[in-house]
């Protein structure tokens, strides 16, 4: 599968949200997005901007205790997973697999390592590296079929 890669450095939470918001506006439904970063790296912050970009008014917070949350956008539902507290994939992995392969739903996954086998091969991977307290390097990796996500993105 051919891949595309884009890197962006942000210097504040607001810049990360604004960048994610731009990406959110390009979503059509059916995309699976995996977010990789350490604790406090900015995965939930990125999700907040992304969800805003889809024109959803729903409040984004870490689904740490519920593992998954659903936000409503005008064109599709967004399923936000956080597997930080999950040690072994169980029923939730099955739910994730269904949602992540649903051609209408958008899925966003934090701490997806434990459910790696349930993630579609065709997915967007966003890796966030902490450079210093307020700076982050965001690397977006996606298959050719998702290249519309990067069109018109300002880097
Ligand atoms: N450039 C930046 N981008 C994103 N978050 C940042 C940035 N600079 C500082 N922060 C802070 O880092 C923290 C990120 O937290 P959060 O999004 O919950 O991370 P995660 O979900 O990866 O654990 C927030 O407190 C946010 O204010
Ligand atoms: Mg988080």
Please list the pLDDT of the chain residue by residue as tens digits (155 residues). 679 999 999 999 999 999 999 999 999 999 999 999 999 999 999 999 999 999 999 999 988 778 899 999 999 999 999 999 888 988 899 999 999 999 999 999 999 999 999 999 999 999 999 999 999 999 999 999 999 999 878 77
Q: Which domain holds residue 50?
A: 3-149
Nearest atom within ligand 1 for CA of residue 16: 3
CATH number at residue 39: 3.40.50.300
Is 109 a member of any domain?
yes
Structural domain includes residue 98 = yes
The answer to whether position 43 is within a domain reads yes
How many structural domains are present in the chain?
1
SS3 (DSSP) at 117: helix
Q: Does the beta carbon of 47 lie inside 6 Å of ligand 1?
A: no
Single pTM value for the model: 0.96
23, part of any domain: yes
d(CA 141, CA 118) in angstroms, rounded, equals: 19
- Asked if the structure places residue 154 within a domain, the reply is no
CA–CA dist 147, 68 (Å, integer): 27
Q: How far does the centroid of ligand 1 lie from the alpha carbon of residue 2, in Å?
A: 30
Domain presence at residue 19: yes
Which numbered ligand comes closest to the C-alpha of 48? 1
Nearest to 42 by CA among 58, 18, 77, 72: 18
Which H or E element spans position 150?
Answer: none
């Amino acid at each position: 599968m051919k891949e595309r890669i884009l890197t962006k450095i942000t210097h504040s939470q607001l810049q990360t949200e604004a960048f994610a918001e731009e990406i959110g506006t390009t979503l059509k439904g059916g995309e699976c997005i995996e977010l990789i970063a350490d604790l406090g790296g900015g995965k939930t912050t990125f999700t907040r901007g992304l969800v805003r970009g889809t024109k959803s008014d729903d409040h984004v917070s870490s689904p740490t205790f519920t593992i998954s949350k659903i936000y409503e956008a005008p064109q599709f539902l967004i399923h936000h997973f956080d597997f930080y507290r999950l040690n072994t994939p169980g029923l939730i992995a099955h739910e994730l697999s269904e949602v992540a392969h649903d051609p209408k739903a958008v899925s966003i996954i934090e701490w997806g390592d434990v459910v790696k086998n349930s993630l579609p091969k065709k997915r967007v991977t966003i890796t966030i590296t902490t450079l210093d307290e307020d700076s982050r390097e965001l690397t977006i990796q996606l298959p050719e079929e998702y290249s519309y996500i990067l069109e018109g993105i300002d880097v």
